[in-house]
Amino acid sequence: MSSFSIYPSARHTNLVVEELHNEILIYDSENVQASCLNPTAALVWKYADGKTSVSEIASKMSVDLGSKVDPRVVYYALEQLDKRNLLIERGTMPTQYKQMSRRDFLVKAGIVGAAVMIPVIIAVTAPTPAMANTCGPCNQPGINNASSCTNQGPGVCQPNCNCSGVCVSTAVSPCP
């Protein structure tokens, strides 16, 4: 495995991407995994187009975030993106950065006290198609299944259930 290219390239194939304010939620249908990128990691993924260098990405991020971004922050984010298979070319952190602990990285990159600058990618559990099924065992109208038909609060029963614990074909039944 070689070190990251000076011109990193984010993967865009077989991905469903949803931008949420300043974060990005990515569902990777190839690897069946979902990732949530915080603003810093999202910017690295956004600018990793195969034409922009690591130092240029850091400069663009500095403008966007209103604070100087060290290229180490970009490499740190690239390493996380690589672990989630979100880069076209797999790589490793350059040797001069690889030997640092996370604390050393934060101190040397000048991010102590500015936690918003730390690139973070959170793995999100994606539901399976079976989880999209209606109301578990309550998917056959007319079946009494009080254990899966529970009250969901004042005036509302669980979807596809009535207040007597009987499965119904409507999505939500009003409760008295």
Residue ranges of domains in the chain, CATH in brackets:
15-126 (1.10.10), 131-176 (no CATH)
CA 85 to CA 24: how far, in whole Å? 15
- Percent pLDDT > 90 in the chain is 28
Mean pLDDT (the chain) is 73
| 71-83 helix and 54-65 helix, angle to the nearest 10 degrees | 100
Between 111 and 14, residue with greater pLDDT: 14
For 44-98, how does the pLDDT look when each residue is reduced to its tens digit (9 = 90+)? 999 999 999 999 999 999 899 888 888 888 888 898 899 999 999 876 667 766 6
Q: Which of 158, 150, 141, 128 is nearest to 27 (CA)?
A: 128
Report whether pLDDT(154) > 60. no
pLDDT grade for 169, boundaries at 50, 70 and 90:
low
Provide the pLDDT for residue 111: 55
Structural contact between residues 9 and 50, judged by C-beta atoms closer than 8 angstroms: yes
